[in-house]
Structure 1
Amino acid sequence: MKRFSTLLSPTRKARTPLDSDYPLLSLVDSCKSMAHIKQAQAHLIITGLILHSFPASKLIIKLFALPIPSSLSYAHQLFDQIPSPNLFLYNTLIKAYEPTAHSSHNSLLLFRSMLRNSSPCPNRYTFVFVFHSCNYGLGISEGEQVRVQAVKRGLDTNVFVANVLIRMYANQGFVDDARKVFDWSLERDLFSWNSMIGGYVRAADLGQARELFDEMPERDVVSWSTIIAGYVQVGFFMEAMELFCKMQLAGIVPNEFTLASVLAACASLVALDQGRWIHVYIEKARINMNERLLASLIDMYAKCGDIDLAFRVFCDENNPKRTVWPWNAMISGLAMHGRSKEAINLFERMKIVNVAPDRITFVALLNACSHGRLVDEGRLYFKLMRSIHGIEPGLEHYGCMGDLLGRAGLLKEAEEMITSMPMAPDTVIWGALLGACRIHGDMEMGRRVGKFIRDSEPNHVGCHVLLANMYSESRRFNDAKDLRDRIEIAGVKKTPGCSSIELGGTFHQFLVGDRSHPQTKLIYSFLDEMAIKLKIAGYVPETREVMLDLDEEEKETALLRHSERLAIAFGLINTAPGTLIRIVKNLRVCGDCHQVTKFISKVYSREIIVRDRMRFHHFKDGLCSCKDYW
Structure 2
Amino acid sequence: MMKRGLSSSFTEVTGDGLTRFYGNRGCSSCLQWHFPRALLLLRPRATGQQRRENKLWKQFFSDTSQWWDHRFDKANSKYPDFKHKETQEGLWIDRWSTPQWVKAKLSAMASGTVQRSVFSWTADIRRCVQNGEERKALEKYQKMQAQGVDPDKFTFVPVLKACANLSVLEEGRSVHSQIIDRGFEFDVFVGNGLIDMYSKCGSIDDARRVFDDMAERDRVSWNAMIMGYVKCGQGEKGLNLFKQMQQNGIEPDNATFVAALTACASLTALEDGKCVHTQIIQSGCESNVVVASCLIDMYAKCGSIEDARKVFDGMPMRSVVPWSTMIVSYVKCGQAGEALYLFRMMQQQGVEPDGVTFMGALNACASLASLEEGRYVHALAIRNGYATHMVIENCLIDMYTKCGRVEDARRVFKNMLERDVVSWSAMILGYARCDEAEKSMELYVQMQQDKVEPHNFTFAGVLKACSILATLEEGRHVHKQVIQTGWELNVYVGNCLVDMYAKCRSIDDACRVFNNLSERDVVSWSSMIVGYVKCGQGQKALKLFRKMQQEQVDPERVTFVGALNSCASVAALEEGRYVHEQVIQSGWESDLIVGNCLIDMYAKCGSIEDARNVFDNMPARDVFSWGAMTMGYAMHGLGKDALHLFDKMCQEGTEMDSALFLCLLSACSHAGLLDEGQYYFECMTPVYALAAKVEHYSCIVDLLGRSGCLNEADDIVNSMPCKPDLSVWRALLGACRIYGNVQMGERAAKHLLDLEPENSSGYVLLSNLYATSGKWDSSTKVQHMRKKRSVRKEPGCTWIEVNNQLHTFVVNDKDHPQISRIKAELKTLSEKMRKIGYVPDTQFVLHDVEKDLKEASLLHHSEKLAIAFGLISTPPGTPLRIFKNLRVCGDCHTATRFISKIVGRAILVRDANRFHHFKDGFCSCNDYW
Aligned to 2:575: 274
The equivalent residue for 1:339 is 638
Q: 1:437 aligns with which of 720, 725, 736?
A: 736
Compute the displacement of 1:529 (Å).
1.6
CA distance in 2, matches of 1:143, 1:445: 46
Q: Quick one: percent identity of the two aligned structures?
A: 36
C-alpha contact 2:371 2:403 (8 A) present in aligned 1:
no
- RMSD across aligned positions (CA): 3.6
Distance 1:466 1:62 in 2: 59
Q: Distance in 1 between matches of 2:633 and 2:773?
A: 36
Aligned counterpart, 1:307:
608
- 2-side partners of 1:481 and 1:145: how far apart? 53
**2:515 paired with 1:214:** yes
SS at match of 1:101: coil
Kept after mapping to 2: 8 A contact 1:131/1:146: yes
Deviation at 1:168, TM superposition (A): 5.9
Q: Kindly state the Cα deviation for residue 526 of structure 1 after the two structures are TM-superposed.
A: 1.8
Residues 156, 606 of structure 1: alpha-carbon distance in 2 compared, 3 angstrom cutoff = same
The higher-RCO structure (CA 8 Å, 6+ apart) is 1
Displacement of 1:518 in angstroms is 1.8
**CA offset digits 1:225-256 (Å, max 9, x no partner):** 00111111010122212222222232222222
Q: How does 1:237-386 map to 2 (within 5 A)?
A: 237-287=538-588, 289-316=590-617, 319-386=618-685
Match of 1:182?
482
Aligned length: 591
* Cα deviation, residue 554, structure 1: 3.1
Out of 238-247 and 487-496, give the one that drifted further: 487-496
Q: Which amino acid aligns with 1:503?
A: V
| Alpha-carbon contact 2:838-2:898 (below 8 Å) kept | yes
**Secondary structure of 2:415's aligned partner:** helix
**Contact residue 668 and residue 674 of structure 2 kept, 8 A:** yes
Equivalent position of 1:615 in the other structure: 914
Q: For 2:856 and 2:792, how far apart are their aligned partners in 1?
A: 23
Structure 1's 482 and 167: CA in aligned 2 closer, same or farther, altered over 3 A? closer
Q: Residues 168 and 369 of structure 1: is their aligned pair in 2 closer, same or farther, counting only changes over 3 Å? A: closer
* Structure 1 contact 162–182 (Cα < 8 Å) conserved: yes
Report the secondary structure of 1:264's partner residue: helix
Contact 1:298–1:330 (Cα < 8 Å) also in 2: yes
| Aligned amino acid, residue 356 of structure 1 | E
> Which one-letter code corresponds to 2:835 in the other structure?
I
Query: What letter corresponds to residue 827 of structure 2 in structure 1?
Result: D
- Counterparts in 2 of 1:530 and 1:150: CA distance versus 1, 3 Å: closer
| Post-superposition offset of 1:33 | 9.9
Q: Is the 8 A contact 1:31 1:37 kept in 2?
A: no
- What per-residue deviation string (whole Å, max 9, x for no partner) do you get for residues 121-167 of structure 1? 55565555444434434665477558867986x86355555655655
Distance verdict in 2 for CA 1:247–1:488, change over 3 Å: same
Q: 1-side partners of 2:732 and 2:525: how far apart?
A: 43
Q: How does 1:115-194 map to 2 (within 5 A)?
A: 115=417, 121-122=418-419, 126-137=423-434, 141=439, 156-159=453-456, 167=464, 174-176=474-476, 178-186=478-486, 189-194=490-495
Query: What amino acid maps onto 1:531 in structure 2?
Result: S
Q: 1:528 to 1:108 in 2, by over 3 A?
A: closer
Paired residue type of 1:197? V
Q: Deviations over 1:414-471 (max 9, x none)?
A: 1111122233323443232222123223343234434544565555544334334333
1:584 equivalent in alignment to 2:883: yes
> 2-side partners of 1:469 and 1:332: how far apart?
29
- CA gap of 1:349–1:530, structure 2 versus 1, over 3 A, is same
Instruction: Determine the structure 1 residue equivalent to 2:404.
Output: 101
Q: How big is the shift at 1:308?
A: 1.1
| Residue 341 (structure 1) shift | 1.0
Distance of 2:756 and 2:419 partners within structure 1: 55
Q: Name the aligned partner's letter for residue 566 of structure 2.
A: A
Residue 613 of structure 1: how far off its partner (Å): 1.6
Per the alignment, do residues 382 and 57 of structure 1 end up closer, same or farther by CA in structure 2, a change over 3 Å counting? same
Residue of 842, 847, 851 corresponding to 1:543: 842
Where in structure 2 are there 5+ consecutive unaligned residues? 1-316, 325-338
Contact 2:358-2:381 at 8 Å conserved across structures? no
- Residues 1:452 and 1:59: Cα distance change in structure 2 (over 3 Å): closer
Deviation at 1:595? 1.2
1:579 aligned counterpart, secondary structure: coil
- Tell me how far 1:411 sits from its aligned partner: 0.4
Distance 1:55-1:452 versus aligned 2 partners, 3 A rule: closer
Give the secondary-structure state (helix, strand or coil) at the position aligned to 1:425. coil
Asked if the contact 2:371–2:400 (Cα under 8 Å) also holds between the matched residues in 1, the reply is: no
Paired with 1:200 and 1:185, the residues of 2 have a C-alpha distance of 19
Determine which of 338, 350, 374 is the counterpart of 1:72. Answer: 374
Does the 8 A contact of 1:340 with 1:368 survive in 2?
A: yes
Judging changes above 3 Å, is the alpha-carbon distance between structure 1 residues 522 and 189 closer, same or farther for their aligned structure 2 residues? closer
1:531 paired to 2:827:
no
- Cα distance between partner residues in 2 of 1:471 and 1:591: 17
Contact 2:906 2:919 in 1 (8 A): yes
Q: TM-score, normalised by structure 2?
A: 0.58
Deviation at 1:593, TM superposition (A): 1.5
Name the counterpart of 1:3.
none
Q: Aligned runs of 1:376-525 on 2, under 5 Å?
A: 376-453=675-752, 460-487=759-786, 492=791, 494-525=793-824
**Which residue number corresponds to residue 15 of structure 1?**
none
Aligned-residue offset at 1:349: 1.8
Structure 1 residues 254, 88: CA separation in 2 closer, same or farther (over 3 Å shift)? closer
Sort the Cα spacing of 1:616 and 1:334 in 2 relative to 1 into closer, same or farther, 3 A.
Answer: same
Tell whether the 8 Å contact from 2:343 to 2:361 is kept in structure 1 after alignment. Answer: no
The one-letter amino acid of 2:584's match is E
AA at the equivalent of 1:273: E
The CA distance in 1 between the partners of 2:459 and 2:787, in whole Å, is 52
- Residue 610 of structure 1 and its aligned partner are, at CA, apart by 0.8
How far off its partner does 1:309 sit? Answer: 1.4
How far, CA to CA, are the matches of 1:270 and 1:56 in structure 2?
Answer: 53
For 1:16, the equivalent position in structure 2 comes to: none
Matched-pair contact (CA < 8 Å) for 1:578–1:605: yes
1:277-321 CA-partner distances (Å, limit 9, x unpaired): 1112222333354222112211111111111111111111xx243
1:314-370 Cα shifts (integer Å, max 9, x gaps): 111xx2433222222111111010000111221222233333233332221111010
1:505–1:92 CA distance, 2 compared to 1 (3 A): closer
Alpha-carbon separation, structure 2, partners of 1:282 and 1:435: 40
Secondary structure of residue in 1 paired with 2:660: helix
| TM-score of the two chains, using structure 1 as the length reference | 0.83
- Distance in 2, Cα, partners of 1:146 & 1:590: 52
Distance (Å, rounded) in 2 between the aligned partners of 1:139 and 1:481: 45
1:597 aligns with 2:900: no
Aligned to 2:412: 110
Determine the C-alpha separation between the residues in 1 that align with 2:675 and 2:375: 50
For residue 816 of structure 2, give the secondary structure of its aligned residue in structure 1.
Answer: coil
Q: Please tell me whether the aligned partners of residues 588 and 594 of structure 2 are also in contact (alpha carbons under 8 angstroms).
A: no
For 2:455 and 2:815, the matched residues in 1 are separated by: 57
Question: Quick one: structure 1 residues 498 and 158, their matched pair in 2 at CA, closer, same or farther if it must change by over 3 Å?
Answer: closer
More displaced, 218-227 or 571-580? 571-580
